[in-house]
Structure 1
Amino acid sequence: MHAGMDDINIINQVLKGDQQGFEELIKRYQSFVFTIALRYCRNREDAEEIAQDVFVKAYRSLADFRRDAKFSTWLYTIAMNTTRTFLRKAKPPVDSLEKAVVYETVSAQHTGTGADLTEQRSTHQLVNHVIGLLSPDDATIITLFYKAEQSIEETAVIMGLAPNTVKVKLHRARLRLKEKLEQFFADEIKEIIN
């Protein structure tokens, strides 16, 4: 019933008492939230716990969601804050959250039209690895813009920066990502795009 509805309509239904609507939002965003948590804590069980907490907090605060931004932007903020709080309490060794996927960067270089699943997985893993080599700021901005599909303005709100600053940082981050790809994985890139 909710599958064809946009996020805002589902939220309106949930606020009217339709709890099944929130289940649809969870289905849509569970992978997104889990990935954010996993990037920070690197432990599946902790990431699952964080993801659950994120959705509980989102459900409880749904009435506070302003509809002038994307639901995913609002949810990302909750996920980041919940993950940071968890890590502060747990103090485990932390890898950078910012190793998220920028599949489009390598995918855009792919000239073939029928890349098979194995090739896509290889590309995906390569890009994930290279993002792990970037600074946290570079990786965050690339993650927000490409993986989370946030606009420049939404990325600016999340990062607490001016939109023009985000544009400049995104441009520089893309250049550094390209440099890392070329520096460390020249042969793999040739293999992927040929």
Structure 2
Amino acid sequence: MNQAQTDADLVSASLVGSDAAFSRLVDRHQQALRSFLRRVSGNEADADELAQEVFLAAWTKLKLLRSPDKFRSWLFGMAWSMNKTFRRSAARRRARDEAWQDLQPRTATPQDELRLALNKAMAELGEDQRAVVALCLAGGWTHDEASGALDIPLGTVKSHVSRGRARLEQILGDGHER
């Protein structure tokens, strides 16, 4: 399969039955999708599981994609929607998992501590703001791309980025004490 093919080309090939084309779409977007879901959910295991479910849903719903050139936004929008549903339905399981984790011995490195502080700070942001910050600040998305993927007005995205950055700086401070 040609490495330079666009997402639209790969979607079209997938729609006529090319498993290899869809596999290429997964290869192209899975790392960014997993990173986004990890940031908005704060739980790496749940995010990885959900990413697999998102790609499965994308495969089964690909024929519903109206603009093949917008595959990435469609995929991340689906991930955002599925994340919200997943989080609502998995509250008890997460509570049980967190209780188990609390019983485990702590051997954190400074990098782990920074990641945990950032995850905790991200969790203090509102749900929409957390998603926008994860895409724009951590994922390198443009405000317009995030607006399209999350179905949030562009001005709101810009506001969430600005306020989210300020809030994270306030929460984390200089020493990341929180």
- Does structure 2 retain, via aligned residues, the 8 Å contact 1:73–1:150? no
- Residue aligning to 2:152: 161
Q: Distance in 2 between matches of 1:162 and 1:180?
A: 26
Distance 1:25 1:52, change over 3 A: same
1:40 aligns to what? 41
Give the letter aligned to residue 43 of structure 2.
Answer: R
SS in 1 for 2:141: coil
Q: Tell me, in whole angstroms, the C-alpha distance in 1 between the residues paired with 2:68 and 2:27.
A: 22
Shift of 1:58: 0.5
Deviation digits for residues 10-31 of structure 1, max 9, x if unmatched?
Answer: 1122123221011111112222
* TM-score of the two chains, using structure 1 as the length reference: 0.64
Cα 1:148–1:62 change in 2 (3 A) is farther
C-alpha contact 1:33 1:76 (8 A) present in aligned 2: yes
Would you say the 8 A contact 2:33–2:51 is kept in 1? yes
RMSD, aligned CA: 3.4
Shift of 1:68: 7.2
- Show the counterpart of 1:106: none
Structure 2: gaps (5+ residues): 96-109
The residue number in structure 2 matching 1:151 is 142
- Are 2:13 and 2:21, in contact at CA under 8 Å, matched by a contact in 1? yes
Which sections of structure 1, spanning at least 5 residues, go unmatched? 96-118, 187-194
Give aligned-pair identity as a percent. 25
Q: Distance in 2 between matches of 1:31 and 1:143?
A: 13
Paired residues, number: 162
The 1:93–1:35 alpha-carbon spacing in structure 2 relative to 1, beyond 3 Å, is farther
CA distance in 2, matches of 1:90, 1:172: 29
Contact 2:34–2:47 (Cα < 8 Å) also in 1: yes
CA distance in 2, matches of 1:141, 1:48: 19
Relative contact order, CA 8 A, sep 6+: which one is greater? 2
- Spell out, residue by residue over 1:78-132, the C-alpha distance to the aligned partner (whole angstroms, 9 max, x if none): 112223333333333669xxxxxxxxxxxxxxxxxxxxxxx9x68x836556434
Conservation of the 8 A alpha-carbon contact between 1:141 and 1:155: yes
- Residues 154-178 of structure 1 deviation map (CA, whole Å, 9 limit, x = unaligned): 3223444321232233222222233
Are 1:13 and 2:13 an aligned pair? Answer: yes
The equivalent of 1:100 in structure 2 is none
- Relative to structure 1, is the Cα distance of residues 183 and 139 closer, same or farther in structure 2, using a 3 angstrom cutoff? farther
Residue aligned with 1:142, SS? helix
Q: The residue matched to 2:4 in structure 1 has which SS? A: coil
- Deviation >6 Å, runs of 4+: none
Measured in 2, the distance between the counterparts of 1:83 and 1:161 equals 16
Aligned partner of residue 92 in structure 1, secondary structure: helix
Question: Within 5 A, what are the aligned runs for 1:131-150?
Answer: 131-150=122-141
Distance 1:84 1:132 in 2: 14
Give the alignment of 1:1-194 within 5 angstroms. 1-38=1-38, 39-40=40-41, 42=43, 44=45, 46-67=46-67, 70-92=70-92, 125=115, 128=119, 130-185=121-176
